[in-house]
Structure 1
Amino acid sequence: MRSLTRSGALVACALLLASCASKPPKSLVTPLPPVAREPQPTQPQHPGEPMRGIWLATVSRLDWPPLASVNGVDGATRIAMQKKALTDKLDKLRRLGINTVFFQVKPDGTALWPSRILPWSDTLTGTIGQDPGYDPLQFMLDEAHRRGMQVHAWFNPYRVSTNIKPSTVAELNRTVSLNPASVFVLHRDWVRTAGDRYVLDPGIPEVRDWITSIVAEVVSRYPVDGVQFDDYFYTETPGSRLQDEQTFRRYGQGFASKADWRRHNTQLLIENVSRTIKQINPNVAFGVSPAGVWRNRSHDPAGSQTSGAAAYDESFADTRLWVQKGYLDYIAPQIYWPFTRKAARYDVLARWWADVVKSTHTRLYIGVALYKVGEPSRIEPEWMVNGGVPELKKQLDLNESVPHIDGTILFREDYLNKPQAQQAVNYLQRRWGS
């Protein structure tokens, strides 16, 4: 491995050459596809069948691909290992009765398909921009649809990288010679640091257009059954805030507060993406998986009887309004707490969300904390009782009994393989499996 000093010098040289070239790296804010596009066929869910979904994360290779397929193997072996790992997972999911996979196709500023806008994801090969030799998104769609399962393309809209290490900066800078290069080098003025990660500034209109064009690329080229955004809109930590004061001064005129302006920015993204998807293929469902709490009743009489971190105030996402406005085909709040957690009781939140969607056309799926099942917890000991099965059963029973709750999504796939979750997996097999 090259030393940081040498690689830094090489990157500086590459950047200098790029700046001196007659044509600088081309901006890839692509125009949206034409509206008059023949809708692609999707796999319609069986009428009346509840959602039984699972999230499959690729960021940091949390669920897939296996690390062993990236390190020290040749290209053909790597492809074979990654494909087999994915089909093995799909076979297991089908046996468990899972009917929908939420597949993370944009974990950060990279892609798991041959994009004209984003470089290839390093999760596949270990190097940003390196062609993996096959199309993972197409492979997933082919294999899942062959098994009668749906696939929703899961996007993290604003994350550029998972950390701000010098080695990460060097790797991002090395993409300057690629086509497409990373947004980190194409539009450095869009990039901020927040939550100790590089992220895009949601207040810049061109950023929102760029994200919309990425979603449009996937929906226009692939028979995905849905598109989902996770809860990472404005993401900050107390020690690593998003520095968007200059953006606010430029674009925030007329707003009473920066918080209101931020919520407006997030709403504009959701509205633009929703409209674009429907223009390209009205059969593709659009959804968001936000934090479980919209607002606490102590802050808003319309909120839930909870005291947890709220999407409206923490992520600047007015998720309830998006449902009311009809921007979403479904919403999947992450209700990752047991029935006894007073700050955010599972049943209180699930019923609150059911009440929100009941007069709308938005479907409600509840995100359930598979990752907590069987794990020791001082403040949530329920997850340890009989392997977490009684708590899981109560949550699934509620989801199936409350009107306007249309199903469950489990977070996340690799926890099906954890030793502590095997009692719960056996229970799911009995409850959902064939």
Structure 2
Amino acid sequence: MESIISTSRCFALAAKVKTLGCLVAAALLLASCASKPPVSLVTPVAKPLPLKPLQHQEPVRGVWLTTVSRLDWPPVASVNISNAASRIRQQQAALKHKLDNLKSLGINTVFFQVKPDGTALWASKILPWSDTLTGKIGADPGYDPLQFMLDEAHKRGIKVHAWFNPYRVSTNTKPSTVAELNRTLSDRPPSVFVLHRDWIRTSGERFVLDPGIPEVRDWITSIVAEVVSRYAVDGVQFDDYFYTETPASRINDSETFQQYGQGFAAKADWRRNNTEQLIEQVSRTIKQLKPEVEFGVSPAGVWRNRSFDPAGSDTRGAAAYDESFADTRKWVQQGLLDYIAPQLYWPFARDAARYDVLAKWWADVVRPTHTRLYIGVALYKVGEFSKKEPDWTINGGVPELKKQLDLNESLPQINGTILFREDHLNQPQTQEAVRYLRSRWGN
């Protein structure tokens, strides 16, 4: 989920810079002379929503619990246990142990990855069972992990948000993965890979769904609806993987654009509209089913850089608007989200994307709206040596972590902090920071 600082975007958008150069300069000049906030080049001025009293809500102290590639859970060794009852006991015991630890740290919300790819960690009628549980796609694990998580977390007073990766079908394109996906054809349900092969594209050495196909967006919405209608989840979250490309592996959606892109001069604008349609559709569906269930997105921390847009942040980072085709600022302005949780995975001293600059920028974005703001913090960097970000290793990373939490609590628009990710709470290099978190947040 890390947003990587990048200058490659300069090459990708060079043509746009040339055509917009004078306009950007003029807009920046006007912005510097006015007291009003700068006007975006791409997002219309949003009419402020009428203020209404917000219900008192405890600040979120959250953590992402990842299941893709078994990064946080379930235990890798559990998959090799041949006895089903023993495997279930080990997986459930590991999850309860994690929840006990999170409770002692003062964590009150877990963002649990229930759809890591094209598979499910619940008893779905749409997706096959995840191979993270048994080692085989479609194999019944013998229990319902999402229901177990909900029961155990709620018992401890911890909320659970079901975290979805909307478009990833697989984490690689190996022949063995293709063969395993093809073997699900006789399963009920089979993988989308074999059920709708025409929806599948390749990007970044992964199989992904093509978001430009309306039926794909409907299908994703139906998956969210299944979870919200059948389980007592407290929220639903999408991560930052919308259009995920690398320079060497672009999504080949030219035919899709030709078929569905009427009215759009540029493919980039069409892509952003596709993503927005998905967000709006999912948001509306959740509110129709259970209005009390929160819907949020955790995007890359930079919406746009000020060098490209006067309304952007004073940063030089990979931008969600330009690289993931996600106009995250607009979603907030339109009231499509209950919360937004940008991933601000940099220290105060990282000049290209300063933590404080971005936190304050996002606070300004949500200020006139009803959207709550939670900040994603890079626990995974704590204690890890980095030439560009040495602050993460000074005194175990505690001073940097303290500055970030202090800032979050000092800005009234910031309603919480989410740590990425759970297993890093158990690593030797983070233990000074974990002790600090326990003293600050713990019961």
TM-score (norm 2): 0.87
The within-5 A match list for 1:43-192 is 47-192=56-201
Cα deviation for residue 47 of structure 1 reads: 3.3
Report SS of the residue matched to 1:409. strand
Equivalent in the alignment of 2:288? 279
Equivalent in the alignment of 2:273? 264
Report SS of the residue matched to 1:393. helix
Equivalent in the alignment of 1:348? 357
* Aligned with residue 367 of structure 1, among 371, 376, 384: 376
CA RMSD of aligned residues (A): 0.9
Q: Deviations over 1:255-306 (max 9, x none)?
A: 1200000000000000000000000000000000000000000001110000
Q: Which runs of 4+ in 1 moved over 2 A?
A: 45-48
Report SS of the residue matched to 1:152. strand
Distance in 2 of aligned mates of 1:47 and 1:377: 40
Report SS of the residue matched to 2:265. coil
Equivalent in the alignment of 1:8? none
Distance in 2 of aligned mates of 1:394 and 1:243: 43
* Aligned with residue 397 of structure 1, among 393, 403, 406: 406
Equivalent in the alignment of 2:40? none
Equivalent in the alignment of 1:430? 439
Cα deviation for residue 403 of structure 1 reads: 1.9
Report SS of the residue matched to 1:406. strand
Equivalent in the alignment of 1:418? 427
Q: Percent identity?
A: 78
Equivalent in the alignment of 1:329? 338
Equivalent in the alignment of 1:338? 347
Equivalent in the alignment of 1:229? 238
Distance in 2 of aligned mates of 1:187 and 1:149: 37
* Aligned with residue 297 of structure 1, among 294, 306, 309: 306
Equivalent in the alignment of 1:315? 324
Report SS of the residue matched to 1:198. strand
Distance in 1 of aligned mates of 2:247 and 2:426: 34
Report SS of the residue matched to 2:263. coil
Equivalent in the alignment of 2:202? 193
Give unmatched runs, 5+ long, in structure 2: 1-53
Report SS of the residue matched to 1:365. strand
Distance in 2 of aligned mates of 1:224 and 1:297: 38
Cα deviation for residue 398 of structure 1 reads: 0.2
Report SS of the residue matched to 2:215. helix
The one-letter code of the counterpart of 2:201 is R
TM-score (norm 1): 0.89
The one-letter code of the counterpart of 2:430 is A
Report SS of the residue matched to 2:237. strand
Distance in 2 of aligned mates of 1:190 and 1:73: 35
Distance in 1 of aligned mates of 2:279 and 2:377: 23
Distance in 2 of aligned mates of 1:394 and 1:71: 43
Q: Deviations over 1:130-158 (max 9, x none)?
A: 00000000000000000001000000000
Report SS of the residue matched to 2:80. coil
Distance in 1 of aligned mates of 2:279 and 2:58: 27
CA contact (8 A) 2:81 2:87 kept: no
Cα deviation for residue 73 of structure 1 reads: 3.2
Cα deviation for residue 125 of structure 1 reads: 0.2
Distance in 2 of aligned mates of 1:161 and 1:81: 26
Equivalent in the alignment of 1:248? 257
Number of paired residues?
390
The one-letter code of the counterpart of 2:250 is R
Equivalent in the alignment of 1:388? 397
Cα deviation for residue 114 of structure 1 reads: 0.6
Cα deviation for residue 242 of structure 1 reads: 0.3
